[in-house]
Amino acid sequence: MKIGIIGYGGRIQGIAKDTLRQDPACRIAAIVDPRNEAIQANRERLGLRDDVRYYGSAEEMLDRERLDGVMIGTRCSSHTEQALKVLPTGLPLFLEKPVSTNMADLMRLKASWEANPSPTVVSFPLRVTSIVQLVKEIIDSGKIGTVEHVQAVNNVPYGGVYFQHWYRDENETGGLFLQKATHDFDYINYVLGMKPTSVCAMISKQIFKGDKPAGLKCIDCDIKRTCPDSVLNTKVPHWEYCCYAEDTGNEDSGSALIRYESGMHVSYSQNFFVRNEAGARGARFMGYKGTVEFDFNTGIVKVYMHHTPRVETYELKAGDGHFGGDEALAASFVELMKGSTSSICSLEDGIRSALLCLKAKESALTGQFQAVEFDSQPAFAAK
């Protein structure tokens, strides 16, 4: 099974390796990337075969190659544009999240997918982790009753990547609801089995702002030895930019209240300046009979029964790559290439999560509740 890759970045390299491990019949046949020469020069280190072919555009690759599947791993703002080239071919597609970074692109993607419903796996690994699967199993069993409230949190201890690396460019990321919350919104949607109907949100930028010169790099800063966020102190070489410069983008915390079809609501909050053991990612799902809570970082699920003095504790061993979710995504993509019609995480799921993120962003900017639906006039047009 021959795979073509559009945008051979670090994330898609990991997913491609997982895919090749799933089935020895899989191989990377072609790559489209503006860094083709550098990739070829480092193909041995990257584990690429000598017979991989390199193209300057997706159109050229799709025209010349007889592929069994395509992976898109470009920077975020290009996901939609590249997907629009692949969907009409009908080839199985692995698409990185977010599927779109603005409403105009999302509407174009939705229209193309409705006209060309190609089998697609969207890169939402959290929903397929063993921990979320267990939580859904407990909830679906009726043990805690129907879920009537959810409290979810994502305190990111590695948040510097969004202020000191290329992710600091909001034109690329679309903001941090699309970068991080899109994962959490997806697994919440999946566990609940319901659609969100409205959202209100708020964002703040309290820490990662300042008056340092635009484009300043840590290595050139006069306080690089004393600043706790300096590359010299964090030891993360690719976090090279000053996070206190005037061009540092992205909010550093955000929260959303989401109403669902049944009338119940979810509260969600994310933060990007906590560090070390303050990091946490998980949720509490509450019904009348009981509560289920979990944290990805600890791998612990607890079930608290409300009317009996009983607490059940499950401890799961998380796998590599998004707590084991990447491997499950790769396996689903292999099955699509073999002819399966069922995706573990469809493009419809990706579109729904992106829409919720974009509406949360719109709410934060306007201070108003937003209906989670497509408007005739997109609020965030493509730049």
- Asked if 334 and 316 sit in the same domain, the reply is no
Among residues 49, 64, 70, 62, the alpha carbon closest in space to that of 7 is found at 70
- Asked if 131 and 70 sit in the same domain, the reply is no
Q: What is residue 321's predicted lDDT score, i.e. its pLDDT? A: 62
DSSP string, 337-373: HHT----SS-HHHHHHHHHHHHHHHHHHHHTS-EESS
Q: What is the distance between the alpha carbons of residues 41 and 44, in angstroms, rounded to a whole number?
A: 8
Q: What is residue 316's predicted lDDT score, i.e. its pLDDT? A: 92
- Asked if 155 and 119 sit in the same domain, the reply is no
Burial (CB count <10 Å: 0-12, 13-18, 19+), residue 215: exposed
Q: What is residue 319's predicted lDDT score, i.e. its pLDDT? A: 66
Q: Domain limits at 203?
A: 126-322+355-371
DSSP string, 85-129: HHGGGT--EEEPSPS-SSHHHHHHHHHHHHHS---EEE--GGGGS
Q: What is the distance between the alpha carbons of residues 369 and 42, in angstroms, rounded to a whole number?
A: 50
Taking residues 19-35, report their average pLDDT. 95
Q: Return the CATH number at 138.
A: 3.30.360.10
> Given pLDDT bands bounded at 50, 70 and 90, which one contains residue 54?
very high
Q: What is residue 382's predicted lDDT score, i.e. its pLDDT? A: 39
Q: Return the CATH number at 37.
A: 3.40.50.720
**28 in a structural domain:** yes
**241 in a structural domain:** yes
- Residue 21 pLDDT > 70, yes or no? yes
How, if at all, do strands 93-95 and 69-72 pair? parallel
- Asked if 111 and 141 sit in the same domain, the reply is no
Q: What is residue 328's predicted lDDT score, i.e. its pLDDT? A: 94
- Asked if 76 and 205 sit in the same domain, the reply is no
- Asked if 94 and 202 sit in the same domain, the reply is no
Tokens for 83, please give them: 């997907």
pLDDT tens column, 167-187: 999 989 999 999 999 999 999
Q: What is residue 379's predicted lDDT score, i.e. its pLDDT? A: 43
> Given pLDDT bands bounded at 50, 70 and 90, which one contains residue 380?
very low
The runs of H, that is alpha helices, within the chain are 10-22, 36-41, 43-46, 58-64, 79-86, 103-115, 130-140, 161-164, 170-173, 176, 182-192, 231-234, 325-338, 347-366
- Asked if 190 and 235 sit in the same domain, the reply is yes
**315 in a structural domain:** yes
Q: What is residue 381's predicted lDDT score, i.e. its pLDDT? A: 41
- Asked if 139 and 94 sit in the same domain, the reply is no
**73 in a structural domain:** yes
**378 in a structural domain:** no
Q: What is residue 292's predicted lDDT score, i.e. its pLDDT? A: 98
**350 in a structural domain:** no
- Asked if 130 and 243 sit in the same domain, the reply is yes
Whole-number mean pLDDT of the chain?
94
Q: What is residue 254's predicted lDDT score, i.e. its pLDDT? A: 98
- Asked if 310 and 212 sit in the same domain, the reply is yes
What phi, psi does 363 have (nearest 5°)?
-65, -45
**87 in a structural domain:** yes
Tokens for 199, please give them: 């959202």
CB 80 within 8 A of CB 349: no
Q: What is the distance between the alpha carbons of residues 372 and 256, in angstroms, rounded to a whole number?
A: 13
- Residue 377 pLDDT > 60, yes or no? no
Distances (CA, A) of 141 to 81, 134, 185, 344: 41, 11, 22, 21
Domain count for the chain: 2
pLDDT tens column, 292-315: 999 999 999 999 999 999 999 999
pLDDT tens column, 347-376: 999 999 999 999 999 999 999 999 999 975
CB 85 within 8 A of CB 4: no
- Asked if 147 and 189 sit in the same domain, the reply is yes
Q: What is residue 306's predicted lDDT score, i.e. its pLDDT? A: 98
- Asked if 54 and 132 sit in the same domain, the reply is no
pLDDT tens column, 92-129: 999 999 999 999 999 999 999 999 999 999 999 999 99
Q: What is residue 280's predicted lDDT score, i.e. its pLDDT? A: 97
**376 in a structural domain:** no
